[in-house]
A and B are shown apart, each in its own frame.
Chain A
Amino acid sequence: MPRRSSRKYLRDLALQRIKRLVMFAEQVRAVEPELADRYGELALAIARKARLHYPDFLKARVCRRCGAWLVPGVTARVRLRRRGRMKYIAVTCLKCGYVRRYPLKRQEVPPRPWYTFYRAPRVRDFAPR
């Protein structure tokens, strides 16, 4: 198999696996939060192995440091904070304490990974970059 196509194949495979893990984590988290955390961890590991950027739908839902499945209000604390003139959204993982900050008003249109909390996954989220 030519090298380029095999790389593409690998990325596609990895994305599909991540997508499945995210789906199952969402389904299983109410019953067994530990399993959802485990799936998050695996999804991050797969993305690293395939040398993918963490997709947005994964970034918004999984803690970067420990892989915990983040549910706002349950396993994550979401706060709007300000430091001087800078405002940011702070998402704290309640398992490991890692704080992810999304600065506001830095650009004309700020990237909004937290939007994935509020809308259903779109096809574009799963397309390879």
Chain B
Amino acid sequence: MRITPRNILRHELIGLEAEVIDSPNKCLVGIKGLILDETRNTLLLGEPGGSKKRVLKHLAVFRIKLPDGTVVRVDGRVLVGAPEDRLKKRVYRW
């Protein structure tokens, strides 16, 4: 199954390109790079072997580029959850 905007919330985020496009903390806006690691509450954005920034999910709105080229705007609040828990996560409205 490919990654689509429909299943992005339950699919793997690691390895996708992302950018923070909005946040109450303006210092976070503009951080971009590959998603290198994911924990329950944070994403690690950056380059392998280069600079990295850990961003709190619930404080950011991300623009995520999927492998097929489509770009999705995802509110970080619906991404909160450990990567293996998101597999079964249900989101009723957002």
Contact of A20 among B12, B36, B48, B85 (CB under 8 A): B12
| Contact bitstring B1-38, A, C-beta under 8 A = 1, else 0 | 10000010011101100000000000000000000111
Alpha-carbon separation in the docked complex, A14 to B14 (Å): 14
Indicate whether A35 sits within 8 Å of B83 (C-beta atoms), given known contacts A12-B1, A20-B12, A20-B15: no
Alpha-carbon separation in the docked complex, A105 to B33 (Å): 49
Interface check A10, CB cutoff 8 A: yes
Number of interface residues of A (CB under 8 A): 23
Q: Are the C-beta atoms of B36 and A42 separated by less than 8 Å?
A: no
Number of interface residues of B (CB under 8 A): 18
Q: How far is the CB of B46 from chain A (nearest CB, A)?
A: 10
Q: Are the C-beta atoms of A46 and B36 separated by less than 8 Å?
A: no
Indicate whether A42 sits within 8 Å of B87 (C-beta atoms), given known contacts A12-B1, A13-B7, A31-B48: no
Interface check A79, CB cutoff 8 A: no
Closest residue on chain A to residue B16 by CB atoms:
A20
Q: How far is the CB of A27 from chain B (nearest CB, A)?
A: 8
CB contacts under 8 Å to A, within B56-90, are 82-85, 87-88
Closest residue on chain B to residue A38 by CB atoms:
B37
Indicate whether A32 sits within 8 Å of B12 (C-beta atoms), given known contacts A42-B84, A49-B87: no
Alpha-carbon separation in the docked complex, A23 to B16 (Å): 13
Q: Are the C-beta atoms of A46 and B84 separated by less than 8 Å?
A: yes
Most buried by A among B7, B12, B83: B12
Chain B residues in contact with chain A, CB under 8 A?
1, 7, 10-12, 14-15, 36-38, 48-49, 82-85, 87-88
Pull 5 A–B residue pairs with CB atoms less than 8 Å apart, ordered by A. A12-B1, A14-B87, A17-B87, A48-B84, A50-B87
